[in-house]
Structure 1
Amino acid sequence: MSFAITMATARRIMNQLRHDHRTVALMVLVPTLVIILLYYVMDDERAFSAWAPILLCVFPFLVMFLVTSIGTLRERTSGTLERLMATPLGKFDLLLGYGIAFGVMACVQVALALTVSLTWLGLDLTGSLWPLVLVALLNALLGTALGLFCSAFARSEFQAVQFMPLVMIPQLLLGGILVPRAQMATVLEWVSNVLPMSYAIEAMKDAVGGGELGGEFWRDVVVVAGAALLALVLGAATLRRRTP
């Protein structure tokens, strides 16, 4: 792994994104627009304050997973990846460069969504702001890492999109959003315990709860960060030098 090569890869991806206005709009604007829509649909500030932090946890993960998996697949199908892998660029350099580039976009995405929610929409936070920002960014990075990993198993953009419900729906249903995890059937609770989104949602609830952040919050943060790192490592291990 080379720091210089990794940063060069990140700059290349950022330059590509700068000229891809539709992708930038999808990453940066869509989560904020959906949160605004939710605000006017609910028309209740108390209900919005309860659901907005969950959306700030879910949407960065969803959007970054979708954009990253498709973006990486385009690199492979266009032959760009094969040419890059013929250079001293290593697999982890490539994926980490992607992670850094899309991580920067995740920061912009979360910053815009939070700014609009806290000012225009009047989101009421009883706790500090920084834990909410930390969890939202980690979840965006987790979506990026899983998107990079899943792109290795897709042959087309349609197949990459098909991975989204496979990855997303179980985590939404079993993450504790609709039903508390402790009230689920034992088998479902076991499955929930191995899904990283479960820990991200728990951390987000602690972040907006207004109480003192204890060991459980930091455990959840470490689990989400560890899952993102593991996905990057697995993505590097499964990345093929040649496009089938």
Structure 2
Amino acid sequence: MNATRTLATTRRVLRQLGHDRRTVALILGVPLVMIMLLYWVFDGDKRTFDSIGASLLGIFPLITMFLVTSIATLRERTSGTLERLLAMPLGKGDLILGYALAFGALAVVQAALATGLAVWFLDLGFAGSPWLLLVVALLDALLGTALGLFVSAFAASEFQAVQFLPAVIFPQLLLCGLFAPRDSMQPVLEAISDVLPMSYAVDAMNEVLASDQVTGAFLRDIAVVGGSAALVLALGAVTLRRRTA
């Protein structure tokens, strides 16, 4: 990989996103709206909002970044942009990392806005530091970006890219421990949840919710989420195709 080419790709993607205000609004605004709706749903029951809000603070950015990244990358391929770029001295790793950095920059803003809204405006209750919430939310958004880049290689149309949402994200959402403790699930479901990165994202948020210390479990959880994002990005570089057949 070449740093100059990677950064050039990042700048190009950011310029394109800057001209697509609806996509930027989707990335930055939807998680905020969802958190506000959740707050109003549990209006008058702050304990429930505190217990669920921290977990969803990481899940909403992951889902949004997955959806936007998968469609945006697929659009680049179907329009022939990827084919033209890869005909130049630009490696697949440079391309994938450039996209990851561009969407990752938006993920930083998205995670900061969502965390700030939940902590300072909606008074989300938790024992740990708000900076730890921000770290987990950011890693979740980056994981969503990596998953979106990866699955875009297997979609032939934007409709198919959207179809990957229930296939890739919904099982993780159901098994991550948000609706029921993972250790209370059937053994086979618990075993599946143990290999899903969203489970560790929720566990990390719960650690911040319950403890005012940086625990070993928290460090393990964020390491799994970050490592999963790096692994999926590497797989995305391997499976990237120049164009859609």
TM-score (norm 1): 0.97
Does the 8 Å CA contact 1:148/1:232 hold for their aligned counterparts? yes
Q: Report the alpha carbon displacement of residue 71 of structure 1 after superposing the two structures with TM.
A: 0.3
| Paired residues, number | 244
CA distance in 2, matches of 1:135, 1:116: 15
Q: Report the alpha carbon displacement of residue 34 of structure 1 after superposing the two structures with TM.
A: 1.0
Residue identity opposite 1:171 in structure 2: Q
Does the 8 Å CA contact 1:8/1:97 hold for their aligned counterparts? yes
2:185 counterpart of 1:184: yes
2:13 counterpart of 1:4: no
CA distance in 1, matches of 2:56, 2:231: 24
Q: Report the alpha carbon displacement of residue 112 of structure 1 after superposing the two structures with TM.
A: 1.1
CA distance in 2, matches of 1:137, 1:158: 27
CA distance in 1, matches of 2:174, 2:102: 30
Does the 8 Å CA contact 1:128/1:210 hold for their aligned counterparts? no
Does the 8 Å CA contact 2:125/2:209 hold for their aligned counterparts? no
Deviation readout 1:116-153 (Å, 9 max, x if unpaired): 22222222232111211111100100000010000000
Aligned to 2:22: 22
Aligned to 1:32: 32
* Identity across the alignment (%): 59
Does the 8 Å CA contact 1:128/1:208 hold for their aligned counterparts? no
CA distance in 1, matches of 2:225, 2:123: 28
Residue identity opposite 2:224 in structure 1: V
1:71-90 alignment, distance < 5 Å? 71-90=72-91
Structure 1 moving runs of 4+ over 3 Å: none
2:220 counterpart of 1:230: no
CA distance in 1, matches of 2:172, 2:190: 12
Residue identity opposite 2:49 in structure 1: F
Which 10-residue stretch deviates more, 87-96 or 112-121?
112-121
Q: Report the alpha carbon displacement of residue 243 of structure 1 after superposing the two structures with TM.
A: 3.0
Does the 8 Å CA contact 2:31/2:114 hold for their aligned counterparts? yes
CA distance in 1, matches of 2:64, 2:123: 24
1:1-244 alignment, distance < 5 Å? 1-43=1-43, 44-244=45-245
Residue identity opposite 1:38 in structure 2: L
Residue identity opposite 2:38 in structure 1: L
- In structure 1, runs of 5+ residues without a counterpart are none
CA distance in 2, matches of 1:242, 1:128: 45
- In structure 2, runs of 5+ residues without a counterpart are none
CA distance in 2, matches of 1:129, 1:199: 18
Does the 8 Å CA contact 1:182/1:189 hold for their aligned counterparts? yes
Residue identity opposite 2:214 in structure 1: L
Q: Report the alpha carbon displacement of residue 201 of structure 1 after superposing the two structures with TM.
A: 0.8
CA distance in 2, matches of 1:41, 1:188: 29
Does the 8 Å CA contact 1:82/1:243 hold for their aligned counterparts? no
CA distance in 1, matches of 2:89, 2:144: 27
Report the CA distance shift for 1:234/1:195 in structure 2 as closer, same or farther (over 3 A): same
